Chain A
């Protein structure tokens, strides 16, 4: 059993089972709170950005929960079993998710700047959503990427998987 697999399971559960459902709930709270208020009555720019943020977040969590997390965890404990070796390219998955995370952060800053300009009430649930994205989301995703980078350097399951995918790339 690879020593890193338990920390892998722990962090993917933390993000997939706790953080993402919590953020999804906050999005719903914003939508419910806002039925007749801020977003709907504002310029479509703010509303478009909010719904783009929601859609990007849903897309990221969908990819991570269904593809990325299971793929990363599947790499553990297969280093000596070539027939079980998954053909996942962790580096590419990491790059794809980081690009989506960057877009999410940009959208959060855009929406925040826009709502600051219009003086949004303090009790609006968007404020909590900003806080969660700027703090919990950024922190947990940083932990996740640091862990992946660490595994790439120090876990033989990972280096073996990357070698496998580089081998496939070189065949092209």
Chain B
């Protein structure tokens, strides 16, 4: 991975991106101070901006470009936590909680980023109610997104389990003569029991699979019309 970056000059007073960031409410006097306590760098696509377990030295303000925040899952696979773009701040969680970074920040495209000195930023935030309010709003919005993500992940997990159950049914009972219809008729309660979910969720998931053209529901019978998509949905490539 590339780690070299190039420094450049950038004035906060004339920065348009700042107007869309948490620093939009800061007055001109403080902007001058802010300008004196930051440095700016350009990062090439693929460069690491900070790494997991690193200690924060300051707050990153993205001027341009896209950045991904990611970490490795239990299976070693990369899990993208969030995408960040111009006007966003980066690394504030570790900075505010005096913790290490819990993820990696990697440039998805060429980026220009300023870093505001840690001590100065914390002092400035404490002295400026408008700034601290903007930061609270930013943290709350990110928390809301993270909570929505958890909900979507847990639903995805049930979807995977439903696909897995259908694969088990197919391997156990095989198909009828049409080579698509499962040769077993299980009640929705029985299917829900295998999936480990409520009957209502099982019914909803089967209906979703039907809409996605993975299966076709014919009365109580289930036709597997796209076995490849079903295997992909089961995500069994552990």
Contact = CB atoms under 8 A, between A and B. Distances in A.
Given A58-B196, A66-B194, A106-B75, A88 B238 contact: no
B172 interface: yes
B161 to A, nearest CB: 7
B171 interface: yes
B172 A68 contact: yes
Interface residues of A, number: 27
A71 B172 CA distance: 7
B172 A110 contact: no
Interface residues of B, number: 21
B19 to A, nearest CB: 36
B100 to A, nearest CB: 13
B173 A88 contact: yes
A63 interface: yes
A12 B194 CA distance: 19
A88 B74 contact: no
A9 interface: no
Contact of A99 (B74, B169, B183, B236): B236
B161 A59 contact: yes
A62 interface: yes
A106 B238 contact: yes
B167 interface: yes
Contacts of A71: 172
Interface string B59-102: 00000000000000011000000000000000000000000000
Given A68-B172, A107-B74, A55 B196 contact: yes
A67 B175 contact: no
Interface in A38-89: 49, 55, 58-59, 62-63, 66-68, 71, 87-89
Name, among B164, B168, B179, B194, the residue most crowded by chain A CB atoms within 10 Å (CB to CB): B168
Contacts of A99: 236-238
B236 A96 contact: yes
Contact of B168 (A93, A102, A103, A110): A93
- Which interface residue of B74, B167, B237 has the most chain A CB atoms within 10 A? B74
B174 interface: yes
A96 B171 contact: yes
Contacts of A63: 168, 194
Nearest to A113: B74
Given A55-B196, A59-B196, A67-B168, A87 B175 contact: yes
Given A66-B194, A88-B174, A102 B238 contact: yes
B211 to A, nearest CB: 24
A165 interface: yes
Nearest to B236: A99
Interface of B: 74-75, 161, 164, 167-175, 179, 183, 193-194, 196, 236-238
